[in-house]
Amino acid sequence: MTHSSDSQPRITVWNEYRHEHENPKVSAVYPQGIHRAIADGLSAHGFRQVQTATLDEPEHGLTQGVLDATDVLIWWGHKAHAEVSDEVAARVVARVLGGMGLIVLHSGHFSKVFKQLMGTGCDLKWREANDKERLWVVQPAHPIAQGVGEYIELSAEEMYGEHFDIPAPDELIFLSWFSGGEVFRSGCTFMRGSGKIFYFRPGHETYPTYFHDGIRQVIANAARWAVPTASAPRSFGNRQPLETLPETSQ
Ligand code: ZN
Cα separation of 202 and 212, whole Å?
A: 10
What dihedral angle (degrees, nearest 10) is formed by the CA atoms of 155, 208, 121, 11? -130
Residue 237's alpha-carbon distances to 95, 136, 230, in angstroms, are: 20, 44, 22
207 CA from centroid of ligand 1 (Å): 9
Inform me whether the pLDDT recorded for 4 exceeds 50. Answer: no
CATH architecture of 10-120+187-226: 3-Layer(aba) Sandwich (3.40)
Q: How far away, in angstroms, is 107 Cα from ligand 1 center?
A: 6
**So where are the chain's domains?**
10-120+187-226
- CA 126 / ligand 1 centre spacing (Å): 8
157 CA from centroid of ligand 1 (Å): 8
Q: What is the pLDDT of residues 165-177, one digit of tens each?
A: 999 999 999 999 9
Percent of the chain past pLDDT 90, that is, above it, reads 93
The mean predicted confidence, pLDDT, of the chain is 96
Q: How far is the CA of 77 from the centre of ligand 1 (A)?
A: 9
Closest CA to 108 of 38, 206, 198, 223: 198
- Half-sphere CA count of 45, side-chain side, radius 13 A: 25
CA of 242 to the centre of ligand 1 (A): 53
What pLDDT sits at residue 247?
86
Cα 193 to ligand 1 centre (Å): 29
C-alpha of residue 192 to centroid of ligand 1, in Å: 26
**Centre of ligand 1 from the C-alpha of residue 233, in Å:** 38
The helix (H) or strand (E) run that includes residue 96 is helix 86-97
**What is the model's pTM?**
0.95
Q: How far apart are CA 172 and CA 112, in angstroms?
A: 22
- 119-178, pLDDT tens digit by residue? 999 999 999 999 999 999 999 999 999 999 999 999 999 999 999 999 999 999 999 999
Query: pLDDT for 167-226, tens place per residue?
Result: 999 999 999 999 999 999 999 999 999 999 999 999 999 999 999 999 999 999 999 999
What is the rounded distance in angstroms from the CA atom of residue 237 to the CA atom of residue 98? Answer: 17
d(CA 185, CA 235): 33
How do residues 51-88 score in pLDDT, each as one tens digit? 999 999 999 999 999 999 999 999 999 999 999 999 99
Between the CA of 142 and the centroid of ligand 1 the distance, in Å, is: 26
d(CA 198, CA 114): 10
Quick one: pLDDT at residue 103? Answer: 99
**Order of all β-strands in the sheet with 125-137:** 50-54, 11-15, 72-76, 101-105, 195-200, 183-192, 171-178, 125-137, 151-161
The CA 204 to ligand 1 mean position distance, Å, reads: 4
